[in-house]
Amino acid sequence: MVLRSTGCLLCVKRRVKCDERFPKCMRCERYGKPCPGYERGFKFVTAKPYRSQRRQKSVVSTGGQNGAATASGYGSDTEHESTGIRAVKRLSPEPGDLNVTQCLNNLTDEISQPFPISSGYVISRWFLLFPSIYGRNRTLDSAMKAFVAHHIGNVTLSKQAIQYARTAYGEALSRLRKSLNCPSECLSSEIYCSVLLLCLYELFADVDRGDVWMSHARALSQLTEARGPSRYQTELDNTLLKASRGLIVMYSLFGGTECILVSDEWHNVMKQQCNPSLSAGLDSLVEEFFTYFTLSPSLVHQLYSLKEADFTDTTTLLRLSEMLKTTLELQEKLDLWYDRFCQATPAPYEVLSSTGDTVYPAVLWYSDVNSATIYCSYYSYMVLIHEILKTCGYPGEQEALVAYFRDKICKSVEYTAQGLLGPYRMGFALRVAWEVADTVTKEWIRGCLRTFSEFYSVMREENY
């Protein structure tokens, strides 16, 4: 039998197009698995010859004013295309279309890699709900199609699929505007999920400019507040809130506003519906940390305001004193939390970098992606706290501690940034490290950004 693909063994097995870089392909690195190379042995199989039945080309209806396109527009039916990828070509707005469901199942499996699909990581849990909620709402269906098609287009290097995703994205925006003006629909779980998904789509696609996701994040924050805490009691809505809260905090941080989730009422809501993949004790610690995390935008805003203030002014000195008191109280709480967290989950340990990194030859390895994500968030917060203490002139080796926690973030990249969602998990932490990086570290982070931005476009260097 003549081989139809010259890609590496793993890409052939996954049925995706290999970039055929030698000696190891880059697509395997993005996938989070070691590339097995290109050497093929002989395999003897006793079987009858089989030819798959030809399928009739179908028409893709994109809805709205965008007209229609044929399925053949996504390229030929080659070996590297899986059933799910072929199904993307036949996406239909009809709620009962099983092809979209198949694509969603494939996507959730792909998104979880290289970690177990049962991982408690909240974004993965949110994606696992997609097949069950597809077909409930046409706005949400369009948003799902946009995200799925964009991802499949990236996997298969198909410009047609990515363009289709953009068309579906435009349709989703058009439907969303109408849904938000409909009193019976605007506060529904499906519309909330649509806004969250479109925000995530822009983080990955970032077609226009680096701040488009902020528009969706602002809408997500406003919609969260408009719905009120009482609407997040079900498993779906509680999962949506926890999947959204990182973006809500980021919007507050970069938008210069106070985070809407700082109140005890919101904290109590987020503590409900325990994550079944985590122990009750660990889940409680994660939620406790997030109550502290909602305070970070306010601290950052105060920090940058103080850096530009006149320290000879008595008003500035009063503000500095109040901020110092708040920061020290928060540091004490985080220290106590960290001691308990280290007892509840294995601490990271150092291993040699698999890439032979010269800046960070030893990297941090974690027991699972959940603890890795929380540890990185903790390192980020400690960078912020010690930067504030340094600005306030508080005694101690604050500058050295800033560099220490910054390096902890960078050493975590090799483990935590694996897979499709890896850059998303590391986005905030790397941004914090960038802000306090020296020349060598900044150049190292710049290299990470070049790699991550191929799939997670918002991490382009110009957005930093």
Under 8 Å between Cβ of 72 and 90:
no
Predicted pLDDT at 118: 62
Give Rg (Cα) of the chain. 24
Predicted pLDDT at 5: 56
1-51 domain in CATH 3.20.190.10? Answer: no
Peptide bond into 346 cis (omega under 30): no
Under 8 Å between Cβ of 212 and 202:
yes
Q: Where are the alpha helices (DSSP H) in 256-313?
A: 264-270, 280-293, 296-307
Q: Which residues of the chain are in CATH 4.10.240.10 domains?
A: 1-51
CA distance 67 to 442: 46
Q: What is the mean pLDDT of residues 225-253?
A: 93
> For residue 203, is pLDDT > 70?
yes
Predicted pLDDT at 340: 96
> For residue 87, is pLDDT > 50?
no
H or E stretch at 240: helix 235-255
Predicted pLDDT at 421: 87
Per DSSP, the residues of 127-171 read HHTHHHHTTS-HHHHHHHHHHHHHHHHHHHT-HHHHHHHHHHHHH
CA distance 91 to 145: 7
Tokens of 445: 């982070």
What burial letters (b/e) apply to 97-130, b meaning 16+ CB within 10 Å?
A: bebbbbbbebbbebbbbebeeebbbbbbbbbbbb
Beta bridge partners of 362: 352
CA distance 457 to 347: 31
User: Nearest-CA neighbor of 421 among 218, 270, 243?
Assistant: 243
pLDDT, averaged across the chain: 81
Give the predicted TM-score (pTM) of the model: 0.77
Tokens of 194: 């649509």
CA 74 from chain center: how many Å? Answer: 26
CA distance 115 to 126: 15
